[in-house]
């Protein structure tokens, strides 16, 4: 089974994120630093040179946002090109930090990168993940799964005594068994509602959560919005759209399966936050929420419908209740599902959503449904009508030749 993007901590596939900062790039130290990691025995699985935006720098250092030096740190990190890398190997996180040396070069031992190559703490050349959680965040923040190379290192047996690959734990039992859902032919459903590989919204950046207000009622008051770098699912619904209610508890089941790995946000298309959406949650004795559990979902109301319109723009179609979008940790729409075909096919489509989320979390390619057939529309202007035969006109009108109509 494929290794997840962040690797498996404590095994030969443990991964860490290492960045050579603008000072290291400008001083031409990329080759020197790569050489030290390779000489150690770590395997390079991803690398790119890029100039981060200020927003990317702030996202990368989000855990330091309360520090006084946060602003200056982000400004400097985004001041020029960096070399972002992912290194793999047993003890890569701790070993990578050891190779870098102490944060302050004055405290770094000779032989370390900072001990040998820099002087000032504000120009300390490199950044390295400090633990499994930060490695996971940083790797998924800077790289997509497709940018991480999976290959066997020919020298592995000379680096490790045990080269057996670890078994990667699956995401858990399926919420919707394949034999009940996408084990059936996807064509069982209406082709109009089947997601195809060339659907226009796939691969686009997901609209930001702007002009939304969280519905903080009862048990839902503390359900979170997506964190930076966290995959999420956006589900559009409406209290007025009663036929669509059954699909909410099905997504609730998925939310409980994935826990904090994936955030599930339901966006109310109802007119006002004080209205239908809140009452749906507030009055379990009378509303459908008593029959359809939705306790693991986060509820928000799209004020002015701007979020709804933004997703409609991404898909070039109406975004109505019972549409859902799967967004990866980079903020890219990787799957869209139209559940308008309410009924027996709802579990079918949600089953495929589950399959695609499993693939996304495992860093594997998503399943393919093929491309949607594009129907060519003939927009060639019609030929001008020919001259009408006067005799035929007379016959059609029932009049005699020469009559004036």
State the DSSP string of 342-394: -STHHHHHHHHHHHHHHHHHHTPPPP---PPPPPPP--PPPPPPPPPPHHHHH
Q: 86 with 143: CB under 8 angstroms?
A: yes
239-273: buried (b, 16+ CB within 10 Å) or exposed (e) per residue? Answer: bebeebbbbbbbbbebbebbeeebbbbbbbbbeeb
Distance of CA 197 to the CA centre of its chain: 16
Taking the chain, what is the end-to-end CA distance rounded to the nearest angstrom? 83
**Which whole-number Å values give the CA distances from 330 to 140, 238, 277, in the listed order?**
7, 28, 29
Phi, psi angle pair for 117, to nearest 5°:
-120, -5
> Structure tokens of 96?
């990578």
Angle between helices 92-100 and 30-40 (to 10 degrees): 130
Beta-sheet strand order (sheet of 126-128): 43-50, 82-88, 15-20, 126-128
User: Is there a contact between 208 and 300 (Cβ–Cβ < 8 Å)?
Assistant: no
The catalytic residues are 127
Cα–Cα distance, 184 to 134 (Å, whole number) = 40
């Amino acid at each position: 089974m494929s290794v997840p993007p962040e690797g498996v901590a404590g095994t030969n596939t443990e991964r860490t994120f290492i960045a050579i900062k603008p000072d290291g790039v400008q001083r031409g130290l990329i080759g020197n630093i790569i050489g030290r990691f390779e000489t150690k025995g770590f395997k390079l699985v991803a690398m790119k040179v890029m100039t981060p935006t200020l927003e990317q720098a702030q996202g990368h250092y989000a855990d330091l946002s309360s520090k006084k030096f946060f602003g200056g740190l982000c400004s400097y990190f985004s001041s020029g090109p960096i070399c972002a890398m992912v290194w793999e190997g047993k003890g890569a996180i701790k070993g990578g930090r050891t190779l870098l040396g102490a944060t302050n070069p004055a405290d770094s031992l000779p032989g370390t990168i900072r001990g040998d190559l820099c002087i000032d703490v504000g120009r300390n050349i490199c950044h390295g993940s400090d633990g499994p959680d930060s490695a996971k965040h940083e790797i998924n923040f800077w790289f997509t799964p497709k940018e991480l190379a999976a290959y066997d290192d020919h020298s592995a047996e000379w680096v490790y005594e045990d080269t057996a690959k670890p078994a990667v734990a699956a995401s858990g039992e399926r919420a919707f068994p394949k034999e009940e859902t996408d084990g059936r032919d996807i064509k069982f459903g209406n082709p109009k509602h089947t997601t195809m590989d060339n659907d226009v919204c796939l691969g686009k950046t997901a609209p930001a959560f702007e002009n939304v207000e969280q519905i903080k009622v009862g048990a839902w008051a503390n359900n979170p919005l997506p964190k930076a770098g966290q995959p999420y699912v956006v589900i559009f619904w409406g209290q007025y759209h009663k036929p669509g209610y059954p699909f909410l508890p099905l997504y609730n089941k998925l939310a409980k399966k994935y826990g904090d790995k994936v955030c599930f946000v339901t966006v109310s298309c109802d007119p006002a936050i004080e209205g239908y959406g809140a009452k749906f949650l507030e009055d379990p004795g009378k509303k459908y929420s008593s029959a359809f559990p939705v306790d693991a979902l986060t509820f928000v109301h799209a004020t002015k419908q701007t979020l709804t319109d933004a997703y409609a723009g991404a898909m070039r179609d109406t975004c109505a209740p019972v549409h859902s979008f799967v967004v990866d940790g980079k903020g890219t729409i990787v799957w869209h599902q139209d559940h308008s075909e309410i009924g027996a096919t709802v579990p079918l489509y949600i089953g495929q959503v589950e399959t695609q989320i499993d693939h996304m979390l495992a860093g594997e390619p998503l399943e393919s449904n093929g491309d949607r057939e594009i129907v060519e529309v003939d927009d060639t202007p019609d030929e001008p009508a020919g001259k009408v035969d006067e005799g035929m006109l007379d016959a059609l009108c029932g009049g005699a030749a020469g009559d004036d109509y």
